[in-house]
Amino acid sequence: MQDFRDKVAVITGGGSGIGLGIARALAQAGAKLVIADLDEGAAKRAAEALRGLGAESLAVATDVRRSESVEALADRVDRELGGADLLFNNAGVYLGGPMRRATEDDWRFVMDVNLDGVFRVGRTFTKRMLDRGRGGYVVNTASVGGFLSYGPGVAYSASKYAVVAYSEAMRMDLEPDGIGVSTLCPGPIDTNLPASDRIRGAAERAGGFSEALAPLTRGGMKPDQVGPIVLAGIRNRLPYIFTHDDLREAFAARFQTVMDCFDRIGAPPGS
């Protein structure tokens, strides 16, 4: 997909952060925008700001943890805009803290949004893309944490590794039908992800806290810098869209460790 003019783009988690940064880039490219967010007020403010940039935009309160909410979003997009051409599967949360303190509630909270939510949204919208037969494009937001795991973010890392695998499988499955798929793997971005605790249930037993991410994201890349990178990645049909070139060495070290382990298959202990 090279030209975004008049294309209908649905962005989950679009009321702020990376989602809004992508929306602004798409607005400048002439796309029609659907801002889906759990925070209805944020979605409406974002849609209004995008209209100020000259873009047709629609705000829809959406909870990716609920299939009926996702279906209602898709129904509205079909009814009012003729269906989605682009899907940005971007809603996400974070919890951090020592792995040994993680609770089942921590795990379920993160997975329900970051992995199950991505699946719910992806399944719903790609089915409709396939039914319409006019192709399309999907960008699933993972993270560099989908390749570089670390103990203090066990549920987050596990969810993002899974999104990478999901996106790779989706890309292979949908490419013959003219639907492209990229995995967005951002590094530190200055967003409100460290405030994810605000949407947790009051009865949940917390072992991890989202504020643990704040030292990493504070002063990070601005979301408006991410949008043009994502659009360039789509135009080039990249399997992975990275934002931070300075992480290249960390990736090289990880994959070298993997290759070294192949070289050591059957090696005597200590060799």
Spatial distance between the Cα atoms of 49 and 222, rounded to a whole number of angstroms:
17
Q: Maximum Cα–Cα distance for the chain, whole Å? A: 67
Place of tokens 């974070």: 94
Spatial distance between the Cα atoms of 200 and 208, rounded to a whole number of angstroms:
12
Spatial distance between the Cα atoms of 261 and 256, rounded to a whole number of angstroms:
9
Tally Cβ neighbours within 10 Å of residue 190.
Answer: 15
Active-site residue flag, 161: no
Spatial distance between the Cα atoms of 158 and 94, rounded to a whole number of angstroms:
11
Tally Cβ neighbours within 10 Å of residue 44.
Answer: 18
Spatial distance between the Cα atoms of 204 and 19, rounded to a whole number of angstroms:
27
Beta bridge partners of 136: 179
Mark residue 59 as left, alpha or beta (left: phi above 0; alpha: psi -120 to 50; beta: remaining): beta
Give the amino acid at 201: G
DSSP string, 190-250: -SSGGGGGGGS-TT---S-BGGGGHHHHTT-B-HHHHHHHHHHHHHTT-SEEES-GGGHHH
Instruction: Report which secondary-structure segment, H or E, holds 25.
Output: helix 17-28
Q: Which of 94, 137, 156, 166 is catalytic?
A: 156
In what side-by-side order are the strands of the sheet with 240-242?
Answer: 57-61, 32-37, 8-12, 86-89, 136-141, 179-185, 240-242
Catalytic residues: 156
